[in-house]
Amino acid sequence: MRKKIKRKRTRGKSKITFMKKPEIAIVGAGPAGTSLAIRLAMRGFAVRLIEREKFPRHKLCGEFISPECLPHFSELGVLDSILEAGGERIAETVFYAPGGANVAVPSYWFGGNSGALSLSRAEMDFRLINKAKACGVEVFEEAQAIGLLFENEEVSGVKVKLKNGETKEIAARLTIDATGRANVLGKLAEKRSFAKTENRSRKTKTQARLVGFKTHLENVDLEKKRCEIYFYRGGYGGLSRIENDLANFCFLIKADLVKQFNGDAGKIVEEIIFRNRRARETLKNAVPFIDWLAVSIEGFGVKTVSPAKNLFAVGDSAAFIDPFTGSGMLMALESAEILARCIANNSFAAEQIEENYRIFYFNKFQSRLRLCAWLRRAAFVPQASRFIITALSFSEKARRFLAHSTRQSLTDNKNK
């Protein structure tokens, strides 16, 4: 173990504290990172969970928990706690084209008789992180990852900055990027790798193609037990009731349209989203209960499951699936379960973990991500979304096939 060494504070620099070496460090306490921490702690691993925010906190998210997530919560020992939080049970999701054409997908198609669940991330994440603490996970909140540690070109931990300005270097045998779409550790690893090449000047910053917005609303005209998805020019949005008589409204829209309205979410809703007839009916009297949240989104699909030696990505850090599928939360929990199993089966043999994780991950998710890439093209074109919704309304078999294809892989049983 490494002894604690303190360096005196010098002007303009923060104190650095070296800590004893833990086994696993996870950065990001969303559903992927926290569920992974719980699973590993239950298997006897020493885990440190590092989170930038202070919980509970609001998070930009569709806040839709599909029925397949509930068995995961049961395995994690948090199902009762999450169900007691007062979220809305969702019996069906209805997709609306701009002119009003619609098609419904019942929640029971995905298992269970009690439906999906719509619950704020503030509640869900808070209950998960409390469970992690109860399992012995050492949690650092308000700690921002600012760098990776390396030994012999292998990741050996993470450097974090605490709220008080103190910097800690947290060593770990395995480091996990669970920072979501921000992909913080993956980008740090890429930056280091790229800086060592002669072509670094060719690197250009990826421009955000989409912007996501989210708020909680009062006075929505929405039936209980229903989630609704609205398509409109340049994007789509989802509405569902959550706890405390509020509703979550989260939408995606092309970045160039956001610029036209100077980032004003209220104007975007009135001028763009209200062109969807059903959205106008449900939201015309709605009032924001919290300030709008916004985040830039560079794209969808697979990133990389192992950006560097001893560094692994989970949840949205590994791949970001389209929100209209309602399977983002499921994918976070599933990827965490796969990685936890790979680590448990291979101890700290990083190469074997990477090989197994990559195989199981792509067997599980590749087909659904490929299908979503095709559906995405239609989602952002009103005429195409209207055609598909109308066509699907005539065939339950086709609706079932598409719905299941955004979740289950044909090779699932081979991974168990």
Output phi, psi for 380, to 5 deg.
-95, 5
Place of tokens 């292998």: 154
All structural domains of the chain, each given as residue ranges with its CATH number in brackets, are: 24-196+299-415 (3.50.50.60)
Please list, residue by residue across 238-257, b when 16 or more beta carbons sit within 10 angstroms of its beta carbon and e when fewer do. bbbbbbeebbbbbbbbbbeb
Looking at residue 3, its pLDDT comes to: 36
- Write out the two tokens for 30: 């969303």
pLDDT of residue 400: 85
Q: Give the tokens for residue 75.
A: 């395995």
Confidence of residue 22 (pLDDT cuts 50, 70, 90): low
Average pLDDT over residues 66-70: 94
Q: What is the mean pLDDT of the chain?
A: 87
Q: Smallest Cα–Cα separation from 172: which of 299, 29, 276, 27?
A: 27
Residue 340's φ and ψ, nearest 5 degrees, are -60, -40
pLDDT in tens, 217-227: 999 999 999 99
Looking at residues 310-323, what average pLDDT do you find? 91
**DSSP letter, residue 2:** P
Cβ-Cβ contacts under 8 Å for 36 (sequence gap 6 or more): 26, 176, 178, 314, 336, 339, 340
As a residue count, the chain comes to 416
On whether the CB atoms of residues 130 and 141 are closer than 8 A, the answer is no
Q: Which two tokens stand for residue 320?
A: 């970001």
Residue-wise pLDDT tens digits, 278-314? 999 999 999 999 999 999 987 777 788 999 999 999 9
More confident site: 11 or 287 = 287
Check whether 11 has a pLDDT greater than 50. no
Q: Alpha-carbon Rg of the chain, whole angstroms? A: 22
